Structure 1
Amino acid sequence: MEHSPVIEESALKALQIPTDGTDVWEIDVKQLKFGDKVASGTYGDLYRGSYCSQDVAIKVLKPERINKEMQREFAQEVYIMSSCGAFLLSEFMTGGSVYDFLHKQRGVFKLPALLRVAIDISKGMNYMHQNNIIHRDLKTANLLIDEHEVVKVADFGVARVKSQSGVMTAETGTYRWMAPEVIEHKPYDHKADVFSFAIVLWELLTGKVPYEYLTPLQAAVGVVQKGLRPTIPKSTHPKLKELLERCWQQDPSERPDFSEILENLRHIAKEVHH
């Protein structure tokens, strides 16, 4: 699995990215050490490495595969990462993804741990949205676990700066996690990420893949035309159930934003703790 750049507020200082408004900066290549290749794709390879003794993942693009569109996409990704305060090289996440934990390792989250994970995700998403960035592909495969069991939002490959967001296409993102307005090619905003978060929360609660008996396309049609949603387990904490249902409302304006979600989750976590 590709380990993508993650939100890390201290990273701007750590990599000494200029904060004077210029976009041009570079790392000290002499401090960059390559390790094993961990993934290979059509457009590039991913290596484990270190930068100034910090474990990082290094993305190397294949020159023969790079066209204008790829350059534009990569520049967009770099811009998003730097404006979010993210490692350009990216921290190397040792724990894999939440998707792998749930579906490959058959891991489960008990309520206190589940709430901690949901709070971690909400912090990352709130930070992105405050910086006018919509993720557009929030799902458990893009949530990485570090060595301290902190979950971080990853994969900025399809994220877009909000001011540039017009009508986005449904080919972006993943149908099982996608908001109805995105599936329908309608204009959308940051509330599309909130819908995806609800599906992620359901996945954390159940350990199942959303709409597992349907093809992605059947799921998409059901979500849009019939208001289809996964079934929430009866044992779910009532306040968590209520929050989840609000997050996947058909009408985006009825969904809360991440600052409110964060507040709600912290409140539930306090109740559970006492």
Structure 2
Amino acid sequence: MAMDDTESCSSRAVDDFSAQTWRQKQKVGVYDEVLRRLRLSHEAETSLPGFEDELWAHFHRLPTRYAMDVNVERAQDVLMHKNLLYMARDPDTRPAIDVRLVQVHSSPGRNFGKSVNWSLKEKVDQERFSGYDSNQRHHPPPAFGSSTRVEYGFETSQLHDIDQRGTFSWPMHEITISTIDKPKLLSQLTSLLSEIGLNIQEAHAFSTTDGFSLDVFVVDGWIIEDTKQLKDILAEEISKIQKRHPPFTPCIFHTEKQDRFGVKFTTKYVNIPRDEVDAWEIDASLLVFEKKIASGSLSDLYKGTFCGQDVAIKLLKNENLNETVRREFVQEIHIMRKLRHKNVVQFIGASTRPPSFFIVTEYMSGGSIHDFLHQQKGVLSFPSLLRVAIDVSKGMDYLHQKNIIHRDLKAANLLMDEYGVVKVADFGVARVLAQSGVMTAETGTYRWMAPEVIEHKPYDHKADVYSFGIVLWELLTGQLPYNNLTPLQAAIGVVQKGLRPKIPRHAHPMIVDLLEKCWLQDPSLRPEFSEITRLLQQTPPKEEPSGR
């Protein structure tokens, strides 16, 4: 799978392409309809050479949910989004911001209950509408569909307007921001909007495949007609956020706290200068925990949402918060916050202050490669095996370029997104390579562990290459490594007898050669991931019998 790292949605870990094909058809359908409407509206830009390709590139660089959510009846909004993303490329016009009035509706006759945490009495100042000409009340709808039916718990008599259909209607501001995408940018923007007195009614956040963001907020709390001042304030404050990137060194401090039962205990947390907290510190009140999807001895993993975005939440268990666990928690954040690659699970933010310690990452709806192979009994075709292996190799190559050793590379730590793109996950035991270039601590999982790590010898990034070889064998066979041995027996066999998994007799010769290179006893003879990626990309994606 020869491709550059700016591509997305391009690899597939299973042979069933139905879901992806349906989404792709939907995206193409939205593109066609937007293009048709723009031409009918005689937008001057549509007559420029190459416009069709530019418009398609706009849809392609954004996630499919952008096409699914955008209001196709407002094709001009898509054009505006495209142009803002273009402006964000130029430092002189970045951040690119659009502020406009939109008309928000809500159907009458419903018992809204407590659909939000505030009432209109608390958040709508009727004086904001005084002197506002009713003829000016008909603004375009928000760019994304569900916003036109925002619902609140307030009385009909308190609404700004009721149209002829009996639908509640009132103006709000829609803010669209495009700039360089960075970890926790969404959290920074939501905090900023709150600080200047805006109430966020809806948020849509998108990241492009080439490192830019497109964030759209529907807000109230600002003087209706004063859009220019709002835009100027936002541009000034966001520019400050973009320029603020001092180096970060986590420090551990002790403090006395009380748990929920009133028992005092000594806790530790990452101490961050106040002006740097918003870089990735998450307000727990913005998280919604939906369901537990995994549980371990030290933490639980939940699926949830953060500002409308699906996320995974790794929540540490308070009863096991010893110093070692806290130190690894700090290290995991310190490593993950610096990473941004299409084959590495994206860090969104964390809470490092009592009472809750958690890490939030993007949600990988496809599950793990381990579950696909061993629980779902999935079978990879040879082209799919190559695509998965290349995804993993690219992610690991990126980590090694950043001087990061994963130290626990295995199928369970390889996750798939909704398109089958595979990403390296779980940096709980990952470390930045020591200046000497070698490390000595034993860590990882025995079945995938390099012999030098098992023996507590000095090791370097080539230990990950050994683990990759075991993963590649796992992809090839669909079997658990050394499944007839206990983990300890396997480790002893690897060290004392040079034990390696048996390669299927009919495996592709290039894969056989690569496996044998990756798990060589001498780490210095194992290939770098850049070479592994090149070899995999040069392997013809022709079906070969695997010998399973």
TM-score after normalising by structure 1: 0.88
Correspondence for 1:77 among 324, 327, 332? 332
Q: Residue 136 in 1 paired to residue 432 in 2?
A: no
What is the deviation of 1:64? 4.7
Per the alignment, residue 53 of structure 1 pairs with 308
Q: How does 1:74-223 map to 2 (within 5 A)?
A: 74-85=329-340, 86-87=346-347, 88=349, 89-163=360-434, 166-169=439-442, 172-223=443-494
Distance 1:42 1:199, change over 3 A: closer
What is the deviation of 1:135? 0.6
What is the deviation of 1:129? 0.6
Residue 362 of structure 2: SS of its match in structure 1? coil
Question: Which deviates further from its counterpart, 242-251 or 58-67?
Answer: 58-67
Correspondence for 1:21 among 240, 247, 265? 247
1:63, 1:198 → 2: CA distance?
36
2:333, 2:365 → 1: CA distance?
22
What is the deviation of 1:21? 2.2
Distance 1:11 1:261, change over 3 A: farther
1:13, 1:41 → 2: CA distance?
26
Residue 288 of structure 2: SS of its match in structure 1? strand
Contiguous gaps of at least 5 residues in structure 2: 1-7, 9-180, 189-240, 250-275, 341-345, 350-359, 544-548
Instruction: Report % sequence identity.
Output: 62
Per the alignment, residue 66 of structure 1 pairs with 321
Per the alignment, residue 266 of structure 1 pairs with 537
Per the alignment, residue 4 of structure 1 pairs with none
2:420, 2:482 → 1: CA distance?
28
Question: Which deviates further from its counterpart, 235-244 or 109-118?
Answer: 235-244
Report the AA paired with residue 78 of structure 1.
Answer: I
Report the AA paired with residue 76 of structure 1.
Answer: Q
1:101, 1:38 → 2: CA distance?
15
Distance 1:65 1:208, change over 3 A: closer
Question: Which deviates further from its counterpart, 114-123 or 218-227?
Answer: 218-227
Question: Which deviates further from its counterpart, 183-192 or 41-50?
Answer: 41-50
Corresponding pairs, count? 263
1:207, 1:125 → 2: CA distance?
21
Per the alignment, residue 289 of structure 2 pairs with 34
2:402, 2:536 → 1: CA distance?
22
Residue 240 of structure 1: SS of its match in structure 2? helix
Residue 367 of structure 2: SS of its match in structure 1? coil
What is the deviation of 1:162? 0.7
2:384, 2:295 → 1: CA distance?
33
What is the deviation of 1:176? 0.9
| Aligned-pair Cα RMSD in Å | 2.4
Q: Summarize deviations over 1:148-202 as a string: whole Å, max 9, x none.
A: 1111111111111112763112xx2111111110111001000000000001001
Of Structure 1 and Structure 2, which has the larger fraction of its residues in strand?
2
What is the deviation of 1:261? 0.4
What is the deviation of 1:108? 0.9
What is the deviation of 1:11? 5.5
Distance 1:59 1:263, change over 3 A: same
Residue 337 of structure 2: SS of its match in structure 1? helix
What is the deviation of 1:14? 4.7
* Structure (1 or 2) with the larger CA radius of gyration: 2
Distance 1:218 1:11, change over 3 A: farther
2:376, 2:319 → 1: CA distance?
37
Residue 34 of structure 1: SS of its match in structure 2? strand
Per the alignment, residue 183 of structure 2 pairs with 12
Residue 166 of structure 1: SS of its match in structure 2? coil
Distance 1:50 1:230, change over 3 A: same
1:61, 1:218 → 2: CA distance?
31
2:367, 2:332 → 1: CA distance?
21
What is the deviation of 1:239? 1.2
Per the alignment, residue 3 of structure 1 pairs with none
Question: Which deviates further from its counterpart, 43-52 or 195-204?
Answer: 43-52
1:11, 1:48 → 2: CA distance?
22
Question: Which deviates further from its counterpart, 20-29 or 137-146?
Answer: 20-29
Distance 1:39 1:206, change over 3 A: closer
